[in-house]
A and B are shown apart, each in its own frame.
Chain A
Amino acid sequence: MGNRKRSYKAEKVIERMGKKLNRQMVASLVACVHCGLCTEACHYVLANPGDPTYAPAYKADQVRKFFKRHFDWTGRILPWWVKAKSLYTDEELNELKDTVFGKCTNCRRCSLNCPMGVDYATFNRMARGLLVSVGVMPEGVAIVSKDQWEIGNQMGVLKEDYVETLDWLSDELEDELGDPAVRIPIDKMDADVVYSINPREIKYDPRTISDAAKIFYVAGENWTMPSECWDMTNFGLFSGDDDLGGAVGRRLYEKVVELRGGKLVISECGHGYRSTRCEAPNWAGMDVEFEMESSVLTMLRYIKEGRIRVDKTKNKIPVTFHDSCNNARSCGLFEEPRELLSLVVEDFREMYPNRAENYCCTGGGGAMSMSEYTPQRLKSAVTKANQMKDTGAEIVVTSCHNCVDGLTDLIRHYKLGMQVTQLVNLVANAVVVEKKVAVPVEAVPVMAEDNVLKGYRILVTDDEPDFVTFVSAVLEDHGASVSRAYSGDEALELARREKPNLITLDIAMPGKSGKEVFEEMRADSDLKRIPVCIITGRPELRRLIYDRPVPPPEGYMDKPVTEDGLLLNVRKILETAHEKKSSEA
């Protein structure tokens, strides 16, 4: 191998590769005949036809060449013949990082089209893990991994915030259905179902939790949610870190056992389902004795068993379905969501190709956390965008939170004007809630729904005038007094002058950005206690706000926002701020 000096990190990568290789990986590493059939299967290639570096076979060769040089006899004896080449420098490791993280979402569509059975995603994941083990990874991967290692979930949600959100959702549900039994049971022993979720649900999409709770309630399920170790997502699948994958899986499995739960139900998340149900027992090296089920199957079962009744006329808008790669291609979960959809929507339109042949949302494999690759990710999304547009549907349904983010981003980028939702939202909307006999209670004054925001001053900040008009109208219709700012400087000036009760803040604005406004507010003794709700069309910029050394914003929403979603978030933030103020007083 010559006398060329190898960097310490390159040495460690090669050393570790020897420990990571298994029969499946070796078979995939040696079997490629470079026939090119994988090329047209990859959404990156379709969007970049003139760039051969996106071809799966080319990308695979970047890993294959040092495998051959060190672990395959052909490359050890005749390196020039089989294009075997070692790794030497940290720069080469960085180049490899851009290939394995930035040019592939591990969607496995190329594997499906390979006549030799090469599973490129498997060793692409291994290569990611090798790089992570020496600290070479995109910044977003580092942030999410560390949060999941140390806080216990991918988004760094602290226990108190998680429990508080569940409490607040329980209050809302109790108000809506008028029954204390609808409250979300936390850490209930001996429940038949332990429900695990994606932290995105707590942080950005709590409606999915209350919708699930509503369904469990109507079904009369004996269920619970754990107060900790509740995250069913697993960034180890994306980062290639088997230790992380095992640790995360083990925490969840041990919690179910501790609660003596009967079954683990996994909310709608493609990689979470694949990791928790299929991969993590292997990474953790443990037998899992209880049953694990996707919530899609749970909901379908409730309908089939007559535990819930649904009225599909509640969902009239035309919908299509996007198969998550991990659910469909890797776990074979594609007929059940369609069966469920046919029961709860009136107008379902298939997307082509579909099921295991479906194209990636382009946000998979952790791509949403790697902002440095956003332009190439969005460029590669053109195939998916065309697929969706051709359906003529107004709503795209998916059973994956990653896909929700990926699709939302591409819908905005390609101006498709569609909405993204999940099956749980549609089922909850269609579920028939039997009226319970109301027990008269002492009359208490209830604020009219139209005036729930009366007395609150809210500053709406966004450089898009249409959006400011929409948000302002919703808030004013419900009694708020609204000021409008169209730039960061204007927002700060108005905030200082008016001291509003809440500020909604866009991140990407010309001039002073939302991030700068947010930081200035948090550093200003007069403004730092004003609650802030970030509303952005650039979810990849979240980390600019959340990775700052200041208390995080009180709320966050992705555009497009709905009237209900906006009101729900604003009310929650104002109530929490009020409670905090009261307790401080």
Chain B
Amino acid sequence: MSDQLKINSHSFRLVKGDITDLEIESFVYYARNDLLLGAGYGTAISVRGGPTVQEELKRFGMLQTTEAVVSSAGEMKANFIIHAVGPKFQEEGQEGKLRSTILNCLKKAEEEGIKAIAFPAMGVGFYGVPVKTSAAITLKTISEYLSGDTRINDVVVCLLDMREYKPFHEEFMSISGV
């Protein structure tokens, strides 16, 4: 299942699946401030990527909310993981922080010369960002970024299930003018 559009000749897509098992250069992991991989997608990164990912993260210490760093992806299909600390549990200024986190991911990818990047439904699920809020902010922020001058040529938003996919699809349709 996927939706796709072109912005300034850059590809922007929605897909349904497991982001940690995606064939793509890099993906975003919604990280903890201490960068411990922990549970959920963190489990998948630890198991599929091996211990080197966590080891590599030690050098970054603690991050502030909205910051992002890049590590290798160990033995995973992706080459890089962008660990981004987004807002959690109804945190104050949630929407602005979410927007900044997404922008920081894109900027960090740009700095590292990454061309393709996959985002999950940012903050949705365990961290409690409402899925419609996440869809609106994520898709708007990315589409605006791709409208500017960037070397990133493929952005994917990877949604886990239909609960996530439907609102993102609706928002995506409104952005693409369908």
Give chain A's interface residues, CB within 8 Å of chain B. 8, 12, 133-135, 142-147, 149-152, 156, 158-159, 229, 243-244, 246-247, 250-251, 254, 522-523, 547-552
Q: Report 16 cross-chain contacts, Cβ distance below 8 Å, ordered by A residue.
A: A142-B39, A145-B126, A147-B39, A150-B39, A156-B40, A156-B43, A158-B43, A243-B128, A244-B125, A247-B161, A250-B163, A254-B162, A549-B37, A550-B51, A551-B50, A552-B47
Chain B, Cβ-Cβ closest to A144: B39
When chains A and B are docked, how far (Å) is the Cα of A244 from the Cα of B92? 22
B46 on the A face (CB < 8 A):
yes
A146, B39: Cβ atoms under 8 Å? Answer: yes
When chains A and B are docked, how far (Å) is the Cα of A133 from the Cα of B46? 26
B161, A549: Cβ atoms under 8 Å? Answer: no
Given contacts A158-B48, A247-B161, A551-B50, contact A134 B89 (CB under 8 A): yes
Chain B, Cβ-Cβ closest to A149: B125
Name the distance in Å between A128's Cβ and chain B's nearest Cβ: 14
Contacts A133-B89, A244-B125, A551-B51 supplied; 4 other A-B pairs, CB < 8 Å:
A147-B39, A150-B40, A151-B43, A549-B51
B40, A133: Cβ atoms under 8 Å? Answer: no
A149, B126: Cβ atoms under 8 Å? Answer: yes
Chain B contacts for A158, CB-based, 8 A: 43-44, 47-48
Given contacts A150-B160, A547-B39, contact A133 B90 (CB under 8 A): yes
Mask for B23-50, Cβ within 8 A of A = 1, else 0?
0000000000000111111111011101
B38, A133: Cβ atoms under 8 Å? Answer: no
Our pick among B18, B125, B128 for the contact of A247 (Cβ within 8 Å) is B125
B138 on the A face (CB < 8 A):
no
Given contacts A150-B125, A549-B54, contact A251 B46 (CB under 8 A): no
B132 on the A face (CB < 8 A):
no
A133, B128: Cβ atoms under 8 Å? Answer: yes
Chain B contacts for A145, CB-based, 8 A: 126
B residues 127-174 touching A (CB-CB < 8 Å)? 128, 160-163
When chains A and B are docked, how far (Å) is the Cα of A547 from the Cα of B161? 25
B51, A146: Cβ atoms under 8 Å? Answer: no
5 closest cross-chain pairs (CB), A and B = A549-B54, A150-B40, A135-B89, A146-B40, A156-B43
Chain B, Cβ-Cβ closest to A131: B89
B107 on the A face (CB < 8 A):
no
Name the distance in Å between B165's Cβ and chain A's nearest Cβ: 11
A547, B38: Cβ atoms under 8 Å? Answer: yes
When chains A and B are docked, how far (Å) is the Cα of A158 from the Cα of B45? 11
Chain B contacts for A243, CB-based, 8 A: 125, 128
B88 on the A face (CB < 8 A):
yes
Interface residues in B, total, Cβ within 8 A: 30
B36, A150: Cβ atoms under 8 Å? Answer: no
Chain A contacts for B18, CB-based, 8 A: 159
B44, A151: Cβ atoms under 8 Å? Answer: yes
Chain B contacts for A254, CB-based, 8 A: 161-162
A143, B46: Cβ atoms under 8 Å? Answer: no
Chain A, Cβ-Cβ closest to B92: A8
Name the distance in Å between A8's Cβ and chain B's nearest Cβ: 6
Chain A contacts for B41, CB-based, 8 A: 150-151
A149, B40: Cβ atoms under 8 Å? Answer: yes
Name the distance in Å between A10's Cβ and chain B's nearest Cβ: 12
A551, B44: Cβ atoms under 8 Å? Answer: no
When chains A and B are docked, how far (Å) is the Cα of A143 from the Cα of B48? 18
A247, B46: Cβ atoms under 8 Å? Answer: no
When chains A and B are docked, how far (Å) is the Cα of A159 from the Cα of B18? 10
When chains A and B are docked, how far (Å) is the Cα of A134 from the Cα of B126? 11
When chains A and B are docked, how far (Å) is the Cα of A144 from the Cα of B43? 11
A251, B126: Cβ atoms under 8 Å? Answer: no
A12, B50: Cβ atoms under 8 Å? Answer: no
When chains A and B are docked, how far (Å) is the Cα of A551 from the Cα of B92? 36
Name the distance in Å between B78's Cβ and chain A's nearest Cβ: 15
Name the distance in Å between A515's Cβ and chain B's nearest Cβ: 15
When chains A and B are docked, how far (Å) is the Cα of A527 from the Cα of B49? 19
Chain A contacts for B40, CB-based, 8 A: 146-147, 149-151, 156
B39, A551: Cβ atoms under 8 Å? Answer: no
When chains A and B are docked, how far (Å) is the Cα of A250 from the Cα of B53? 33
Chain A contacts for B37, CB-based, 8 A: 549
Chain B contacts for A246, CB-based, 8 A: 163
Chain B contacts for A150, CB-based, 8 A: 39-41, 44, 125-126, 160
When chains A and B are docked, how far (Å) is the Cα of A399 from the Cα of B54? 39
Chain B contacts for A251, CB-based, 8 A: 161, 163
When chains A and B are docked, how far (Å) is the Cα of A12 from the Cα of B39? 25
Chain A, Cβ-Cβ closest to B17: A228
When chains A and B are docked, how far (Å) is the Cα of A114 from the Cα of B9? 67
Chain B contacts for A229, CB-based, 8 A: 161
Our pick among B42, B46, B161 for the contact of A550 (Cβ within 8 Å) is B46
When chains A and B are docked, how far (Å) is the Cα of A439 from the Cα of B58? 60
When chains A and B are docked, how far (Å) is the Cα of A522 from the Cα of B46? 13
Chain A contacts for B50, CB-based, 8 A: 551
Chain B contacts for A156, CB-based, 8 A: 39-40, 43-44
Name the distance in Å between B15's Cβ and chain A's nearest Cβ: 15
B162, A135: Cβ atoms under 8 Å? Answer: no
Name the distance in Å between B75's Cβ and chain A's nearest Cβ: 10
Chain B, Cβ-Cβ closest to A134: B89
Chain A contacts for B92, CB-based, 8 A: 8
Chain A contacts for B162, CB-based, 8 A: 250, 254
B39, A135: Cβ atoms under 8 Å? Answer: no
A12, B90: Cβ atoms under 8 Å? Answer: yes
Chain A contacts for B38, CB-based, 8 A: 143, 146, 547
Chain A contacts for B89, CB-based, 8 A: 133-135
Chain A contacts for B36, CB-based, 8 A: 549
Greatest chain B CB density within 10 A among A147, A246, A523 is at A147
Our pick among A250, A522, A548 for the contact of B161 (Cβ within 8 Å) is A250
Chain A contacts for B53, CB-based, 8 A: 549
